[in-house]
Structure 1
C-alpha cells in the first residue's frame, strides 16, 4: 500500500477517534448517572458527618456564627444532592434529552459541593493550630481527590468540583499570609492540578472505552443485519430451489404425457386404415403442438427470470401489433366460432416490442382456450398516468380467491383439466415477469361464468396519434404462387418444410446450404421470399443465414426473409432485430409460420 495513503488513513482514524473522545467527555456517559444517583445518598451522609467533625474541631476557637452558617449551607447542598438522587432513581429514562438534562444537573451540583468545601476553608481558620490546619487540608484534599475516578465520567462536572475546592483553599492560605500558609497554597495548587490531570486521564480512558463499546455495538448491529440478510437470502435460495424442483417435476410430467401419447399412436399407425391414420395424424399433431407450447413457455419463463434479460426499447405501433395478432389468431378463434376483434386506438408506445408481443400472445391464447362461446377483445386505453393494454373474454372466468395464485408457475385453477388444450400453467407466470421487466404490472378482473379481463398497465411513454385505418389482413390464398427459397442443412427439416410450403401453394426451391442457394441464384432463380435456418453448417459456424441473406440482397434488393433457429442466443436475436428480420424458434408451429409469412407480405 502507498505509505502516503496509509498515513492519510491513520490520520483520518485518529481524527475520528479524537472527535468521538471530545463528544464523549463533553456529554459524559449517561449510564453512569445511575451509579452516581445510587452512591450520592451514602456519600452525602458520610461527607456531611466529616464536615460536622471539622466544624466541631474548630468550634471552640473559631467564629462560631460563620461556622454554623457554613454548616447549614453545607447540609442544604447535601440535601439537594440527596433529593436529586432520589428523583433521578424515580424518573430516570434512557432518552438522550433526559440524559443531557441530568448531566447538566450533575455539573451544577458538583460546582455547589466544591464551592461549599472552598468556602469552608475561610470559615475553619486556626493559623496557630498546626494540627487542625494540617487535618483540614488533608481531609478536604482526600475527599476532593477521592471523587476523581467517579466524576471523571463527566469531566466538566469534575472540573466544576475540583476548582472551587483547591482554588478556595489556596486563596484562603494566601489570605492568611505567612510563609507556612504560602507553602500550603502551593501544595494545594499542586494537588488540584494533579486531580485535574488524573481526572483527564480517567476521562480519556472512560471515553475510549465508551467509544469502543459504541463501535462494538455498531459492529454487532451491522453483523446482525448482515446475518439477517444472509438468512433471508438463504431462505429465498431454498424457496427458489424448491420452486425449481416443482417446476422441473411438473415440466417432466407435462412433457412425458404427449410423448407417451405419440409413442402409442405411432405404434397404432402401423395397422391403421387410411381414415384411422388421418385421425391419428391429427392427434399426433395436437401432441406436438402441446410439446411445442410447453417448450416455448419454459423458454419464455427462463428468459423472464434471467437477470441478464436485455430490453430493446423501440417505438411500437400498438394498433399495428394488435392487427398482426388478430391476423394470427383469427383462424383459431373462427374454428371455435368466437368473435375475435381489436378495439385498440391509435397509439405509439416506447417499449420492448418482443416482450409486449409475448405478453399479448399468452393472454390471447389463454382467452381463446378458455372461452367456449362469445367473444375475445384486444384493447388499449390511455389516461394521464399510464397505458392499459387488455384482453377481455366471455369465458369460464376465475374465482376471486384464485386471482393471486393464477400467476404462479404450473398452478392450475381447480376444476380445469390439465393436458390437451388446457395449458400448462406457465403462461401467466411468464406474463407477470415480462410485465415487471417492462416496468409495468398485471391485473385481473374476473368471476366464474362472467369472463375475464387481464390488463397490462405500463408507464405512459411517448405517445403520438396515428392515422386511423384498417390493417391489411392477407387473404387465405395469399401464399399461392409465392416463390420461396428454402435453405436448411438438416435433410429431414428441409423435406418437411418444403412439403408444408408446397401444401400452401408456394413454389419452393429447397437447398441444403449456402453454396446450393447461391448456385440457384446464379441459374436465374428470382425468389420472392427467403426461409432459412440461422446455422447452415455445423463445421463452419460463420456460414449463417445472415451471410446468405446479405449476398442474396446484393442480387435482389430488400428480399423479405424469415430466419429459423433452435438456439436461444441473445446475439442472434439482437442481430435479427437490427436487420429487421423475423426470427422464429424451433419447433415452429405451422400456424405461427403462416401468420409470419402473411404478415411479411401484407
Structure 2
C-alpha cells in the first residue's frame, strides 16, 4: 500500500525529506533575488512604484530568511531533534512566500501593458513550477507555497470581467491541479528512495554484522582446528611411546620359551596392542596428508597381487561377521604408487566391512577407456544423498553414536580421499540407502613400454645384523625395549637419554649406526643429535629417526632432513627392514 504523501513520515524519513528541501534553498536564493529585482525594473510605473518596491523587498527578505533558516537547521542533530517543529515553521514560511509572489499580480496587473501582464503571470507560474523540484519532498510545504500563489492569480484573472481572462483563470486552476499531481508523484518517489536507502543501509549493517559473526566463527573454527591438531599430536605422541615399547617387548617375549597357554595370552595381548597401533597409524596417515609430506612414488605395477594381499588380510574379518568377501581376477597394470593405492583400498574395504551387517562385499576392477576403475561394492546400510559428501570429512561416522572403536575413528574415508587427491586420482561414491554402496577409484593404465616392478608382499626371517647400535630416547621403557630387540638381532647396543650422553658413549665406542627419537628433552631433536654424532664420527654414519609426533610442522621438518623416518609404534619387522636398508652391505 502506498504511503499518503500528505501524511508526515516517521522521524528518520522526515529528517531526510527536510534535508532535501532545506538543501535546495541555497541553490535558489541568488536566482530568486535577481528575479525580484528584474520584475521591479520591468513592471515599475509611477502608479505602482511604492507598492512594487515594497513587494520586491518582501520577496527578497522572505527568500533570504528561508536561506538563513535552512543553514541554521540543516545540521543532523537539530533535524533529528525537531523535525515536526521545523516542518510547521517551513509551512508558515512557504505560505508567506506564496502570498508575496501571488500579490505581484494584484500590484502590477491593473497598470501593466499586455506584455507586462504576461511577464507577471509567467514569473508566478515559473516560481510555482520550480517549487515541484525544490519543495515537493515535503508536500505540505509545497502546497503552502503554490496554492496561495496560483489561487491569487486565478482570482485576479476571474475578476477582470473579460471572458478571455476568465478562461485564463480556469487554466491557472488546472495548472494548480497538474502541479499538485506532479508534486505528489515526486514526493512519493523521494520517500520511496529514502526508505530504500534506509533498507539498504539496514541490510548492509546486517550483512556487516553477519560477516563479523561469520569471521569470528571462522577464526574460532581455525583456532579449534589448531587446538584439535595440537591435542591429537600431543595425545598421539604420548600414547605411541608405551604402545611402541609394548610391541617391542611382546616381540622379544614371543621368541622365548613359553607354554602353550602363555603363548596364547601373548597372542591376545599382541592383538590388542596391534589394534591400538592401527588406530594411532590412522591418525598418523591423516596428519601426513594434512602436512603435505606424502610424496608419491609412481611406477607401473600389477593390481592383482595387491588385491590378493588385501583379500588374505580382510577375509577372516569378513568371515567373523558372517559376510562374504569376493574379488575378481584381473590382469591390469596401472601407473601409481602401490603403497598409497594399498592404503586407499585398505580403508575402503575396512569401511565396507564395518558398515555391512549382512550379505557381503565385492572388490573388482574393470577397464574404462585408459583407466582401470577399482571398485569396492558392499550390501551395507547405504548413505543418504545429503551425507555422501560429508562421509569424506574427518571424524564423520554414520550410525555410530556410541563411538564403537571397532568401527574406527571416522578417518578412513577422509584418508582415502586425501590420498586420492595427492595421487591425482578420482575417488567417487554411489550409494542407495539400506541397499549398499560402491566406491570407485580410477587409476591410469600403464603403457606397454613401462617395466612392471613386482610389489613385495612377504619378508623373510630376520638375519643377525652384527652391528654396534646407539639408541637415543628420553623414555626409559623404550630404551630398554630397543636394547632387548637389537640384541636379539645380534647387535651390540648402548642407549642414551640425551645428546651429551650419546656423544660420551660414541667417543668411547664408535657405533655403526644410530637410532634416535625425534623429540628429546629440553626441546631438542634427534636431528640435532644425529648432526652432532656425524660431526664427531663422520658424515657417513648411518642414522634412523623414530618419532611419535604427528604435528604437521614436525613431519615436514623431519622429512626435509633426508634421514629415514619411522613412526611409533613400529613393528619389529619394519624396524628390521629399515636397519637393513641403511647399513652398508
Q: TM-score, normalised by structure 1?
A: 0.46
More relative contact order in 1 or in 2 (CA 8 Å, sep 6+)?
A: 2
Q: TM-score, normalised by structure 2?
A: 0.47
